[in-house]
Copies of this chain bind each other. A is one copy, B any other.
Amino acid sequence: MNVTRCSHYVLTVSDLDRSLAFYERVAGLVLTAREGGTAYLRGLEESCHHSLVLESDPGPPRCRRLGFRVFEDRDLDELAGRLEDLGRSVTWADEPHQGRTLHCGDPCDVPLEFCATMDTAPRKMGDFSSFQGGSAMRIDHFQLQYANVPGGSDFYQALGFRLSEYIGHEGQPPEGVFLQRKGNPHDMVLFRGPGPRLHHVAFTTPDVHTLLRACDVAGELGYGLNVERGPGRHGPGHALFIYLRDPDGHRVELFTTHYQMVDSECEPIRWTPGDLRIAAPWGLPGQASWHLEATEFPGVPVEVPDGFSPMTLERFLEERGSHK
């Protein structure tokens, strides 16, 4: 039942050409295949067939599934048993370019899928002259706005995810959790908020130069306002980041890589809510939209947690001022 890593996701988009131009030229992903209204993209170092699937759809932009990998096909059967033990119903699906695939909703009905293998494609990280924009290397993690963070945290830990960092007052339920399988701090991140909604998916970028090149190319191609937050430095993990909105408003993060977290003696790190070193060790926070907007899952209603009040720029600056 060895879930190994965050693997891929499926978005609907209203104009496939426009979305492809964005993900190839600004983010720097490469196109593996385009089949009818579906495009399969992967990062420059990835040998798997796809980490991002774009499906043309005239409806509102949605995230259809979040995909994880297990190591071997037989792990899928063990995983299916565990999911049913946890009260989740599972189905088997046949997804193009993937091995046998297991579908299941998480406790807040986030549509998940698991597979062991994919078709392969050549790694492109040596084709230097064709790197574009942010030179996105590989998918790293999902981040969700989520109404029931403690419940979600328990669920993913029951599947073997380890808690690397969390945000919460001592002795109280966490408001944000960073869960990992692949030995760095992130594969799935849940933050308290109106959800379930996909806040962003993060891809690695080689360094600050490619991070900035994504911004510069975004500006050049008319996507300057889509640089919604950053460049900045994360508190947890200490990576450099930017957040971009794609033409349909789906959010993608590019960030330089994270620290290694493999050993069993590593204890989860707790951050205090309102500790502004989390949100912004320096500089400006994101645009208000960064705090408020996210991608819904089709047919899954959004629930607002009790007592939740959204972060606004005014509130952010006020709280930050009080810490000055």
- A: residues with CB less than 8 A from B are 4-5, 25, 45-48, 69, 71-72, 116-118, 120, 123, 125-129, 132-133, 137-138, 182-183, 206-209, 212-213, 215-221, 223-227, 229-231, 233, 238, 240, 256-257, 259-260, 262-267, 276-277, 280-284, 286-287, 313, 320, 324
Contact = CB atoms under 8 A, between A and B. Distances in A.
Contact of A320 (B225, B257, B313): B225
Report copies per complex: 4
A219 B277 CA distance: 8
A259 B125 contact: yes
User: What are the 8 tightest A-B residue pairs by CB atom distance, in nearest-first order?
Assistant: A219-B281, A224-B282, A219-B282, A207-B207, A128-B216, A45-B259, A209-B209, A227-B283
A182 B262 CA distance: 8
Contact of A218 (B118, B120, B229, B282): B282
A129 B233 contact: no
A240 B223 CA distance: 18
8 contacts: A48-B265, A116-B264, A128-B220, A207-B207, A215-B283, A219-B277, A225-B320, A284-B287
A72 to B, nearest CB: 6
A281 B117 contact: no
A182 B125 CA distance: 20
Contact of A283 (B4, B71, B230, B233): B230
Q: Which of A182, A262, A287 has the most CB of B within 10 A?
A: A262
Given A138-B259, A284-B287, A212 B208 contact: yes
A260 B43 CA distance: 11
Main secondary structure of the interface of A (DSSP, over half): loop
B128 A213 contact: yes
A257 B257 contact: yes
- Taking each of A207, A221, A313, which has the highest tally of chain B beta carbons within 10 Å of its own beta carbon? A207
A129 B221 contact: yes
Contacts of A240: 212
Contact of A280 (B224, B264, B277): B224
B282 A128 contact: no
Nearest to A317: B287
A15 to B, nearest CB: 17
Given A182-B183, A217-B129, A230-B283, A4 B225 contact: no
Contacts of A216: 128, 233, 281-282
